[in-house]
């Protein structure tokens, strides 16, 4: 028996990097994987590779976030794992002395508000099931500081 047999995992930012690697690993452990990302080209490819599905979703958009969990539930019958991993690190997110308010706001929306939206939408599924696991990606920068300026 695999460790995550038939658990349904929704991975935001699953089209690349850590999210992609997680999709492959969770599928190896038997999970049904739902990749939610703004990049459908890579997302569809990885979803096919892991035998899961891709849902186009911008994690800063409340309707998209609600929809991705609904699609996961309607397709597989539960939402057991929410990996809130989508995030950005744009070059204009730099020193506080040079970072403009638009870059600041964009990073807050994608990296932080998205986690609020995802938790808010997924927790009711998990409450009804009586179980579930949420993993929110932060950064080693939170505990070790950044090598380059990143306000
Ligand atoms: N790689 C690192 O060294 C590092 C360090 C610290 C923190 N992190 C965090 O880990 C997470 C994953 O990082 P990664 O290196 O795998 O990044 P990545 O750029 O390889 O992948 C991020 C994915 O998120 C998607 N994405 C971006 N904006 C989105 C949005 N609005 N809605 C939905 N999807 C969106 C992208 O399309 C991409 O597929 C991010 O939250 C990042 O901030 C990464």
112 found inside a domain: yes
| Domain count of the fold of the chain | 1
pLDDT at res. 149: 79
Ligand 1, from 14, 86, 138: best to mutate by most atoms within 8 Å of Cβ? 86
45 found inside a domain: yes
Q: Model pTM greater than 0.85?
A: yes
103 found inside a domain: yes
88 found inside a domain: yes
Place of tokens 């040079």: 98
Longest dimension (CA), the chain: 54
Residues 51, 35 contacting (CB under 8 angstroms): no
Strands (E) across the chain are located at: 8-12, 32-37, 53-56, 81-84, 133-136
Which atom of ligand 1 is found nearest the CA of 109?
31
Strands (E) across 48-125 are located at: 53-56, 81-84
Residues 26, 9 contacting (CB under 8 angstroms): yes
The β-bridge relationship of strands 8-12 and 133-136 is unpaired
- Report the CATH number that the domain containing residue 24 is assigned in CATH: 3.40.50.720
| pLDDT in 10s for each residue of the chain, 151 residues | 899 999 999 999 999 999 999 999 999 999 999 999 999 999 999 999 999 999 999 999 999 999 999 999 999 999 999 999 999 999 999 999 999 999 999 999 999 999 999 999 999 999 999 999 999 999 888 888 877 777 8
3 found inside a domain: no
- CA of residue 31 to ligand 1 center, whole Å: 21
Instruction: For residue 82, count CB atoms less than 10 angstroms from its CB and return exposed for 0-12, middle for 13-18, buried for 19 or more.
Output: buried
2 found inside a domain: no
Q: Determine the structural domain holding residue 107 and report its residue range.
A: 8-141
pLDDT at res. 1: 84
Q: How far is CA 77 from CA 38, 54, 73, in A?
A: 24, 16, 5
CB atoms closer than 10 angstroms to residue 1: 5
- CA of residue 87 to ligand 1 center, whole Å: 4
135 found inside a domain: yes
């Amino acid at each position: 028996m695999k460790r995550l047999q038939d658990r349904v995992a929704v991975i935001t930012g699953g089209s690349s990097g850590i999210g992609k690697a997680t999709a492959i690993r969770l599928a190896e452990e038997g999970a049904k994987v739902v990749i939610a990302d703004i990049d459908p080209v890579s997302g569809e490819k990885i979803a096919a590779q892991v035998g899961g599905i891709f849902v186009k979703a911008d994690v800063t958009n409340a309707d998209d976030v609600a929809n991705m969990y609904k699609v996961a539930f309607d397709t597989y019958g539960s939402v057991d794992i929410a990996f809130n991993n989508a995030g950005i690190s744009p070059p204009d997110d730099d020193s506080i002395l040079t970072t403009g308010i638009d870059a600041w706001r964009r990073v807050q929306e994608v990296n932080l508000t998205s986690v609020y939206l995802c938790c808010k939408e997924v927790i009711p599924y998990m409450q009804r099931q009586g179980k579930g696991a949420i993993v929110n990606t932060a950064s080693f920068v939170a505990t070790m500081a950044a090598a380059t300026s990143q306000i």
